Amino acid sequence: MEVLMPEPQIYVERTLALIKPDVVNKEEEIEDLILRSGFHILQKRKLQLSPEQCSNFYAQQFGKVFFPNLTAYMSSGPVVSMVLARHCAVSYWKELLGPSNSLRARITHPHSLRALYGTDELRNGLHGSLSISSAEKEIRFMFPEAISEPVPTGQRARDYLNLYVKPTLLAGLTALCKEKPADPM
């Protein structure tokens, strides 16, 4: 009887997650929820943003009434910045976060992170990227030293695996089978 295994797929989409200053003390609890939701934390750092850095990060909000309060809030204490990865990371993270207004989230999405950890419209506890392109920009902002290369998907990913990964694995496994180490441990 032949067992059919599904062809392996590469699910790599990244998004930025920020734990905001007023809930940094719940970092471990929030990380546990993130991991249990199928995300991988690729990078993580705790940092204190200056008001200028916050202004740059939230530049698309410039000119809105809440902008000064937002930059003051985000620079009021340390934040935890994380790069999360999984299949459809941006949309799954937005779904897990719930609505940006925590008061509305408590009514419409009571199990969302913002309903659980946010306090109001401004202090919603966590940040998530709105799109794949904004995620890449935000990741570069928070992790400037990180190398961000385009990740192949679909046929390009399969071609890469067949051309580079499979031959290397085959050569390594063949060599391992031919030699018996004197002391395997």
> Which residues are tagged catalytic?
127
Q: How far is it, in rounded angstroms, from Cα 73 to Cα 89?
A: 26
Q: How far is it, in rounded angstroms, from Cα 163 to Cα 122?
A: 49
Which of 88, 114, 133, 136 minimizes the C-alpha distance to 30? 114
Q: How far is it, in rounded angstroms, from Cα 94 to Cα 68?
A: 24
Pair type for strands 40-48 and 78-86: antiparallel
Q: Quickly list H helices, the chain.
A: 27-36, 51-57, 67-74, 89-97, 102-108, 113-117, 132-142, 154-160, 166-178
Specify the residue for token string 């299949």: 87
Specify the residue for token string 């902008």: 67
